[in-house]
Structure 1
Amino acid sequence: MSKSEMQNDDNQNANSKTWYASWFDSPYYHILYKDRNYREAQIFMDNLTRYLNLPEKAKVLDLACGKGRHSIYLNQLGFEVTGVDLSENSILEAKKNENESLHFNVHDMRNPFHQKFDAIFNLFTSFGYFE
């Protein structure tokens, strides 16, 4: 294998290891999930929170929150919610809904988040992209 072929192979390996870093900010990601709506999120969260019987004003972390549709509804139910996601674009959109008890941050779930929560939600396909 020539030196240039090895460099190309190394570049492809580096790109394949970090494909997720750009995927969540790509237009294709948002096209794929454009049909996810707030009503669907509400029904799901109503069932989940009823099952978990969380205390009033529980502190909840929505890990890999995307644009925050679950976080927003959890906050409307009276929970103190922090939503985190790797996608800067999604967090910028989610931040439009911030209030005193609803916050959003760019965060990589592989790194510790130094706060205590009553519940941590990692919904749908958000986990498992990393080695």
Structure 2
Amino acid sequence: MAWFETWFDTPYYHILYKDRDFAEAENFITLLINHLKIQKGSKIIDLACGKGRHSVFLNQMGYEVLGLDLSQQSIDHNKKFENPDLKFEVHDMREEIYGQLSSQKVDGVFNLFTSFGYFEDEKDDQKVFQSISNILKDDGYFVLD
């Protein structure tokens, strides 16, 4: 098992990032959406969504959001926010999304807050990018922070 498969479920991870709050997420997402000009009602995947700060605010802004994360604890935490247009699922970003978790292509995939770059094998990185490419509409946005 790789270190990142357990790190995000430890109390140390949450202590390290305790200063990251909903206000910060709302400010960042507002700036991002204003820049991209994604229409309300669009479908967005928050890939490696963690505790769901960005997913929840995107949904409040009028987007249909699927939050995906490897951490079962984070997804369990996020389930309380679910509604018909906001869902959360445990998912390893190296695995396909299209056809597995979603039968529809999406308008955006956001991978935010240093949630990429942990894999030792570059083939795993390629799997992530292929999955994102497969789930995105032709004119969709991929945002990697």
TM over 0.5: yes
Query: Is the CA contact 2:40–2:61 (under 8 Å) kept in the aligned structure 1?
Result: no
- TM-score by length of structure 2 reads 0.77
| Pairwise CA distance, 1:55 | 1.4
Aligned residue pairs, count? 115
CA RMSD of aligned residues (A): 0.8
| Equivalent of residue 71 in structure 1, options 52, 55, 68 | 55
Higher strand share: 2
Partners of 1:34 and 1:71 lie apart in 2 by: 18
Partners of 2:30 and 2:19 lie apart in 1 by: 20
Corresponding letter in the other structure for 1:118: D
- TM-score by length of structure 1 reads 0.85
| Equivalent of residue 38 in structure 1, options 14, 17, 22 | 22
Residue 16 of structure 2 is aligned to residue 27 of structure 1: no
| Equivalent of residue 91 in structure 1, options 72, 75, 78 | 75
| Pairwise CA distance, 1:71 | 0.2
The percentage of counterpart residues that share the same residue type is 57
| Equivalent of residue 113 in structure 1, options 88, 92, 97 | 97
Cross-structure match for 1:56: 40
Give the gaps of 5 or more residues in structure 1: 1-14
Dislocated runs of 4+, deviation >2 Å: none
Residue 126 of structure 2 is aligned to residue 122 of structure 1: no
Give the gaps of 5 or more residues in structure 2: 122-145
Corresponding letter in the other structure for 1:127: F
